[in-house]
Amino acid sequence: MRKVYVVGVGMTKVGKHTEVSMRDLAAEAISNALDEVGNEKPEAIVVGNMLSSLVEQENLAALIADHAGLRGICGLKVEGACGSGGVAVLTGYLMVASGLYSKVLVVGVEKLLERPTPDTLRGLAYAADADYELIYGVSFAGLNALIMRYYMSKYNVKREELALWSVMMHQNGVKNPYAQLRNEITLETVLNSPVVADPIRLYDACPLSDGAAAIYLTNEDWKKLSDTPVLIAGVSNAVDSPDLSSRFSLDELFASRLSAENALRMAKLSVKDVDVAEIHDAYTITAAVSLESIGFAEKGKAAKLWSEGRFKPGDKPTINPSGGLKSRGHPVGATGVYQVAEVVMQLRGDFPGVLVPAEVGLTQNVGGVGSNVTTVLLKR
């Protein structure tokens, strides 16, 4: 299999971009990534997006490629709910690894703030089972709240312990110029915030976000486009049922575990080798079960570990120096691409926020409540 390298990254600030169209947001991230490779024209583009249908636009690969001056190249959109960015990275990887393309642009883009909140929340619930779950009006927060209550009860985890995750994320995110929520918060901020879907409160959850991120992938011949190419040492995706009812387990993300195991095996690495990781903390509970499913913590112990100060800058692994979904934000189809771009910058040593000395990085992007999960291993 041909080796695949990330030789350029580009991001927009995550936040509310009412004044910018989706195509312009994507073009901005693309320009930033192309700037890093001397504007070398890619041969293919992969777009990650989940919900452009809410504003009646599909065919995003053609729309964005053309807008960015790339008419005529190969293009397609990929979707895996909130894990769309992750599967976009996987698809870009396949393009280069196959030998069919040698220069590939992967761009994730999402605008969740285009429609009124109840409409957007309904759209996010398209990740669930429309026939058997959406019919009951359960929101995405509600599905995660079911997991959270089950987990807290089974492992006797305290509300306060989970809430500390958000405090830690805002401490990191405040230093990230691309982050959406750049303010420090306290435990009380979380515990006194409004209940969204009990036991999930507003500050347990990531914000609704607009944003776009791009990475430029090449093979051995073209890695010279960068002085600091970063190797994709492993990548793997796994799916689970969108419905929670038929899951094998409610306190482990089966697809997260499979995806991480496979990606680590491919990279010939162990979870102990990881210096820095960007994981998918859509809710504080998602952080806990993701850390445990990947293998960074024992079952039921993640929140205890972070309450004791683990996973902060200085620890190995440092988790979410970007501020994570909680503080950086979660433009769903773009998030998996942001994560890879951020870890690449960590490994290159030029991430403009909390910077961690690192040789090996991991990203994990989770679609649905763990129904479509992609893990990527990156190496300097």
Partner 1 sequence: MTTIQRIWRIKNILLRLISTRCLECGFIAYPPKASCPKCGSRKVVEEELPKVGEVLTYTVINVPLKGFEEFTPLIIGLIKLGDAKVLAELVDVKPEDVRIGMKVVATLRRSTKTLDGVIPYVLKFKPLTLKLNTTT
CA angle 303, 305, 309 (to 5 degrees): 110
Go through 174-203 and write b for each residue having 16 or more CB atoms within 10 A of its CB, e for each that does not: bbbebbbbbeebeeebbeebeebbeebbeb
**Residue 344 C-beta: closest distance to a second copy, Å:** 20
* 95: partner contacted, choices a second copy, partner 1, none (Cβ within 5-8 A by kind): a second copy
* 199: partner contacted, choices a second copy, partner 1, none (Cβ within 5-8 A by kind): partner 1
**Residue 211 C-beta: closest distance to partner 1, Å:** 16
User: 8 or 75: whose CB is closer to a second copy?
Assistant: 75
Of 333, 330, 362, the closest CA to residue 141 belongs to 330
Q: Which residue has the tokens 């995750």?
A: 165
* 133: partner contacted, choices a second copy, partner 1, none (Cβ within 5-8 A by kind): partner 1
**Dihedral of the alpha carbons of 17, 18, 20, 23, in degrees to the nearest 10:** 90
**Residue 184 C-beta: closest distance to a second copy, Å:** 35
Which of residues 6, 7, 27, 232 is near partner 1 by CB under 8 A?
A: 27
According to CB under 8 A, which residues from 246 to 265 bind partner 1? 246-248, 250
* 98: partner contacted, choices partner 1, a second copy, none (Cβ within 5-8 A by kind): a second copy
82 part of the active site? yes
State whether residue 46 is helix, strand or coil.
strand
* 309: partner contacted, choices partner 1, a second copy, none (Cβ within 5-8 A by kind): none
17 part of the active site? no
- Is the Cβ–Cβ distance between 282 and 366 less than 8 Å? yes
Question: Segment near partner 1 (CB under 8 A), from 193-201, 214-222, 230-238, 304-312?
Answer: 193-201
Site string for partner 1, 38-77 (x = CB under 8 A): ---x-------------xx---------xxxxxx------
Which of residues 53, 59, 99, 132 is near partner 1 by CB under 8 A?
A: 132
Measured CA distances, 100 to 43, 61, 93, 140, 327 (Å) = 10, 18, 11, 38, 38
* 81: partner contacted, choices partner 1, a second copy, none (Cβ within 5-8 A by kind): a second copy
Token couple for 362: 């991991």
**Residue 138 C-beta: closest distance to partner 1, Å:** 5
**Spatial CB neighbours of 325, under 8 Å, sequence gap ≥ 6:** 206, 280, 281, 282, 335
CA angle 371, 328, 223 (to 5 degrees): 80
Separation of CA 268 from chain center: 23
Which of residues 1, 137, 156, 227 is near partner 1 by CB under 8 A?
A: 137
- Rounded CA-CA distance 148/351 in Å is 32
Of 9, 104, 108, 105, the closest CA to residue 351 belongs to 9
User: 174 or 191: whose CB is closer to partner 1?
Assistant: 191
- Rounded CA-CA distance 119/276 in Å is 36
Which of residues 43, 62, 74, 122 is near partner 1 by CB under 8 A?
A: 122
**Residue 368 C-beta: closest distance to a second copy, Å:** 5
- Rounded CA-CA distance 41/357 in Å is 32
* 263: partner contacted, choices partner 1, a second copy, none (Cβ within 5-8 A by kind): none
Reply yes or no: is the peptide bond before residue 321 cis, omega within 30 of 0: no
Q: Is 350 exposed, middle or buried (0-12, 13-18, 19+ CB in 10 A)?
A: exposed
> Residues touching partner 1: how many (CB under 8 A)?
60
**Residue 14 C-beta: closest distance to partner 1, Å:** 18
Provide the annotated active-site residues: 82, 330
> Which residues of the shown chain bind partner 1 in the complex (CB under 8 A)?
18-21, 23-24, 27, 31, 41, 55-56, 66-71, 114-119, 121-122, 125, 129-139, 141-142, 145-147, 149-150, 153, 194-200, 241, 243-248, 250
